[in-house]
Chains A and B, each alone.
Chain A
């Protein structure tokens, strides 16, 4: 079993829709949670960063972490065709301990927003 599970999709939505992307994780030591966006043949780009449980909002994007259920979510409001990309969730124990901050990624969800 992978430490971070993510439904690869693909997910196709009309422009303006609310998109919900989700991951689950199994490692209780994970404290830091991130969402990356990756366009085709490009490097992952950091979208959202959350420490421990809670919500974080940035423009059209909202990240949620529920550590009790080990559930990570990303919501995109008023989705745009330019949001079409692969979205990767990632988790980390942090730079302390033996993990030294390495990121564990989900498989990524391919999102297409059509006009």
Chain B
């Protein structure tokens, strides 16, 4: 158990809608990474936040945005949803205290766009 929580576990919505996915890291985890996992693209990096600031962007669509709040939880906002956005969305934290490059993943949110 990574200690990272994600809500909701499952989300079913319609095309054109907007959803918010939440990630709660363990106490003291400053770095949060968001990844998308789909059958055709595999597991891909979307965006990273460190202590409230955006640090790096990957293959994140303009319709997607994220933020990290003062209590260090993070939210990934997906808007104008398309069928192709159906995927598993994971957040991961990096153990900054140990200065290791490993990341620990949450259980994910499964998004289905109908």
B-contacting residues of A (Cβ < 8 Å)?
31-32, 34, 36, 41-46, 49, 51, 88, 92, 94-95, 98-108
Point out which of A31, A46, A88 has the most chain B C-beta atoms below 10 A from its C-beta: A46
Chain B contact residue count (CB 8 A cutoff) = 27
Expressed in whole angstroms, the Cα–Cα distance for A101 and B106 within the complex equals 17
Expressed in whole angstroms, the Cα–Cα distance for A46 and B93 within the complex equals 12
Expressed in whole angstroms, the Cα–Cα distance for A32 and B42 within the complex equals 20
Note all chain B residues with C-beta closer than 8 A to A34.
101-102
Instruction: Say yes or no for B45: interface residue by CB 8 A criterion.
Output: yes
Instruction: Say yes or no for B48: interface residue by CB 8 A criterion.
Output: yes
> Which DSSP category, helix, strand, loop or mixed, fits chain B's interface?
strand
Instruction: Say yes or no for B44: interface residue by CB 8 A criterion.
Output: yes
Would you call B56 and A102 a contact (CB within 8 A)?
yes
Q: Which of A92, A104, A107 is in CB contact (< 8 Å) with B101?
A: A92
A-contacting residues of B (Cβ < 8 Å)?
2, 4, 31, 33, 35, 42-45, 48, 50, 55-56, 58, 90, 92, 94, 100-108, 110
Note all chain B residues with C-beta closer than 8 A to A100.
48, 50, 55-56
Would you call A105 and B107 a contact (CB within 8 A)?
no
Would you call A43 and B107 a contact (CB within 8 A)?
yes
Expressed in whole angstroms, the Cα–Cα distance for A44 and B25 within the complex equals 15
Q: Which of B4, B35, B44, B101 is in CB contact (< 8 Å) with A101?
A: B101
Q: Which of B42, B44, B94, B105 is in CB contact (< 8 Å) with A43?
A: B105
Which chain B residue has the least Cβ–Cβ distance from A42?
B107
Which chain B residue has the least Cβ–Cβ distance from A95?
B101
Expressed in whole angstroms, the Cα–Cα distance for A115 and B110 within the complex equals 31
Note all chain B residues with C-beta closer than 8 A to A94.
101
Note all chain B residues with C-beta closer than 8 A to A32.
101-102
Q: List 21 A-B contacts (CB under 8 A).
A: A31-B101, A32-B102, A34-B101, A36-B105, A41-B110, A42-B107, A44-B43, A45-B105, A46-B103, A49-B100, A49-B101, A88-B43, A95-B94, A99-B56, A100-B55, A101-B33, A101-B103, A102-B48, A102-B56, A103-B33, A107-B42
